Structure 1
Amino acid sequence: MQGKNKRFTSVPLVNESAWRRRGIVAWALLGMAGVFVVVIMALGSVSQAVELLAIGGIVAFICAPLTNKLETWKVPRALSALIALIVVLLILVGFIALIAQPLIDESLILLRNAPLYARQIQDMVQEAWITYDAIGNSAVRSTVNSIILQASNLGVSFAGEAFRWLSANALSNISTLGEHFMSFFLGLVLAYWLAKDYPVMVRELAVIAGPQRDDEVRLLLAILSRSVGGYMRSTIVTSIANGVLAYVGCLCIQNPYAGLIGTIVGVLHIIPVVGPVFSAGIALILSVLQSPMLGLWTLLVLVVAQNVTDNVLSPVVMASSVKVHPGLSLVGIMIGGALGGIVGTILAIPITAALRGVFVYYFEAHTGRQIVSYDGALFNSTPFHDADGNIHPAFDALDDDSFFESTRLVDKSEAVCVEADEKPEKTINIAEDIAKVFSKFSTPENIGDQQVSSTVDSEAENKSSLPKEK
């Protein structure tokens, strides 16, 4: 395969002391942790600026591939960026127009029926006490009844407060709503200029860094673009797809809160790992209040939608972002949520992916040892070598040999030949292992062996039961 930019030279294997290598790894890990904490704290403390930058950056990352594609078709870059921005806005407006009306209607119905649902929960619990008498201790029963009553009162009071807030504070929050609209508009303007001029900005930053550091600056920006930009684009696409699948599925089973459930599923899908769990719990509660069977069907619909999104769509769209181990994702989400709240939780995984790529580059560049592999855990990605067998930290960090060909961050006039290592036939796959185990018990040979063994055992038992001859 052909990559780009020969200045990201190969690194021959070098011999260093064990303590020096351990020191490099330790300091690299400490540096990554420190940068992660500083970035999350900074993002959480300047939320308004982050809102503007987040809107501009996300929209620019979404527009960048279409802008680059139009530029390759001889369309001027300024016009390409404008066309890409208009296309993204049309898709966004169409999606909002599709879900706005059912979302508002179903939310109002839910708020209106909140007291009724609270009474239903109380009646269900009381009926359970009377029918099954599950708890004989009167003290425990009174405590549980008190908790249920308080929860019901809390739900009723929440619904009342929501109605009062909508009626009394709507006018007072017009200014805040206007600020958000202004931030959104300015974010779109920023997105246009970023999508149009980011190749020039990168070249200027490389000039500022100097001839000795311009390669590293370009590489760091490339890693940031691939990890953060690719992850955000992929997350938005998969979130919309998951929400639409959940909405269509709930419509098919005639769930009265199909629009609300689809919106909740799509929005919470942005929060990795824990988002789908919370959305499934909320949808299950809303559906069980209608009927237990509807709750079961709704849960089945959400499981199918989540599996289709994760196993069919995600492998395709997530190919543009760096892989992150689930354990590393959980640690990043916990740290990001503790330091930056919701913003930190959403940005935790792309920042973790970027830090992972930076660590891979500097580790391989300074030690000459290749840490990425097909069967790795924390560093599972594609390893690259040149014709002489030397590793290429830049390609290992990006995990994509075609990225240099499609990006505008690197000069295409200089090239280097690299090839991805041949992927092994056997890969670690839990599903395949489980299927293999079950297949051992279901094959005709095993069934025949089991029948033969059972026949032999029965004959032995019959012989042992016969009376012995004297």
Structure 2
Amino acid sequence: MFQKKSIRILVTLILVFALIFLIYKTRFIFQPIGAYVAAIAVPIIGSGIIFYITNPIVNWLERRKVPRMIGTFIVFLLIVTAISVITIYIAPIVQKQFTNLIDNIPRMANNATRVIELWQDNQNIIPPQVESSINHMLDNLNVYAERLTSAVFDIIGQVFSFVFSFFLIPFFLFFMLKDGYKFIPFVTQFLSPGKANSFKTLATNINHTLSSFIQGQFIVSICVGVMLYIGYNIIQLDYSLSLALFGLVMNFIPFAGPFLSAIPAIIVGFLQEPILALWATVVMVVAQQIESNLISPNVMGRALSLHPLTVITLILAAGGIAGFIGLLFVIPAYAVVKTIIAHFYHEWQRKQPEEDPDLM
């Protein structure tokens, strides 16, 4: 029996690789499809994220006998209100802080110069290995600055590309909120009862995975942003709101996001007053400890069931392949793929003879 199953698995793998090879050889056929998908990817992804954040509100209103159409309009009204509040009250503060940051760069540079002079005056107490490392870092400071500037402009370019497609998001979001529940019945009407039940289960599992991640990350990121803002204000760090908002956005990147968000705060704190770099680090560590031990377990639980080593590996690979966008979407994409594979494996296992249910 083992021999028979091994041959069956081997034949399946050969067919899978043959299919991949054929797809690669005929990839020109799929280029128009790829161009079409790329053109609508931003509005679909953007509206999908907002859909999972706002759909619970529409469902809650629907359970209160509010028609889904009216609930959708209420959600749009809430979104417009939130955008208006951000534009009127938060955006001017962020703009002012950013302008002040640009204006205060000479003062920060003077502070950095004083620190370097102090270091030069006390070189005799610094171990040679540390001194060599510091000299190497200072010699390559321009290279690091150029790389950082290039990365910033790359992110800005991606943001502008997103903004260009932003105007399509409301249209996609409206129909997702209004008619999203019709998708599964529409597909299952073309399937046999057995396959229809299987598809409903798969769609429900994928929906649960995405909603758990997106809603959880949204709530956790808001909490982290608020904690960072409070902490930065307590230590009187300049540009606290801008740095807290940056931390909020970066927290959407699992595992690596908190560390990325701490870098600007530490740099600004060091240039403002060297001791503030230490306090900014303390604020970040405290916020992340509260988030990882209190907020995330209660908000997200173990819905995704991802091992930390898996998360780290995925982030490293996605960052090298797709950059910032890859960091944002690799975890939910992996969770969805994992859900699909697990579903089909369980379906396959269910159809096996009772005396031979295992894969190997």
Same fold (TM over 0.5): yes
Runs (4+) of structure 1 moved beyond 4 Å? Answer: 16-19, 21-28, 42-48, 95-98, 134-137, 143-147, 152-159, 179-182
Question: Are 1:244 and 2:226 matched, yes or no?
Answer: yes
Task: Identify the residue that residue 85 of structure 2 maps to in structure 1.
Answer: 94
In the superposition, the TM-score normalised over structure 2's length comes to: 0.77
Q: Is the 8 A contact 1:106 1:260 kept in 2?
A: yes
Q: 1:181 to 1:291 in 2, by over 3 A?
A: closer
The residue that corresponds to 2:295 in the other structure is: 313
Q: Which residue of 2 aligns with 1:429?
A: none
**Partner of residue 292 from structure 1, selected from 240, 260, 274:** 274
Shift of 1:216: 2.5
Give the AA of the match of 1:67.
V
Alpha-carbon shift at residue 57 of structure 1 (Å)? 0.7
1:117 has 2:108 as partner? yes
Amino acid at match of 2:340: V
**Distance in 1 (alpha carbons) for counterparts of 2:319 and 2:138:** 30
| Alpha-carbon distance, 1:151 to partner | 2.3
Mapped pair 1:74 → 2:75 = no
Count of aligned pairs: 330
Whether the 8 Å CA contact 1:129–1:135 is kept in 2: the answer is no
Letter in 2 for 1:133: N
User: Is residue 273 of structure 1 aligned with residue 263 of structure 2?
Assistant: no
TM-score if structure 1 supplies the norm length?
0.60
Gaps of 5+ in 1: 1-15, 166-172, 370-470
Most deviating of 309-318 and 242-251: 309-318
1:329–1:352: 8 Å Cα contact kept in structure 2?
A: no
Unaligned runs of 5+ in 2: 25-32, 352-360
Native 8 Å contact 1:268 1:278 kept in 2: yes
- Which of 65, 89, 103 is the aligned partner of 2:94? 103
Identity, in percent, stands at 23
Contact between 2:319 and 2:327, CA under 8 Å: does it hold in 1? yes
Secondary structure at the residue paired with 1:213? Answer: helix
2:5 match: 20
Whole-Å separation in 2 of the counterparts to 1:340 and 1:94: 33
Q: Given that residues 43 and 340 in structure 1 are in contact (C-alpha distance below 8 angstroms), is that contact kept between their aligned partners in structure 2? A: no
Deviations 1:67-113 (A, max 9, x none): 11211111111112221232244334434544322322222222223
* Alignment RMSD: 4.0
Higher RCO structure (Cα 8 Å, ≥6 apart): 1
Aligned to 1:225: 207
- Aligned pairs for 1:9-158 (under 5 A) are 17=2, 20=5, 48-95=39-86, 97-133=88-124, 148=138, 151=141
Alpha-carbon deviation of 1:119?
4.1
C-alpha separation in 1, matches of 2:126 and 2:302: 55
Give secondary structure in 1 for the equivalent of 2:272.
coil
Shift of 1:312: 2.1
Q: CA deviation at 1:345?
A: 1.7
Distance change (3 Å), C-alpha of 1:269 and 1:253:
same
Q: 1:231–1:320: 8 Å Cα contact kept in structure 2?
A: no
Q: CA deviation at 1:362?
A: 2.6
How far is the alpha carbon of 1:348 from its aligned partner? 1.0
Task: Please report how far the alpha carbon of residue 191 of structure 1 lies from its aligned counterpart in structure 2 after TM superposition.
Answer: 0.8
Residue type of the alignment partner of 1:307: Q
Q: Which moved more, 1:236-245 or 1:121-130?
A: 121-130
Q: Which residue of 2 is the match for residue 256 of structure 1?
A: 238
Letter in 2 for 1:106: Q
Q: What is the letter of the counterpart of residue 280 of structure 1? A: A
**Larger CA Rg, structure 1 vs 2:** 1
Contact kept? 1:246, 1:262, Cα under 8 Å? yes
Equivalent AA in structure 2 for residue 108 of structure 1? T
Task: State the 1:66 CA deviation.
Answer: 1.4
Residue 442 (structure 1) aligns with = none
Paired position in structure 2 for 1:169:
none
Deviation at 1:268? 0.7
- 1:35-56 Cα deviation digits (max 9, x unpaired): xxx9xxx999965522111111
Q: CA deviation at 1:201?
A: 1.8
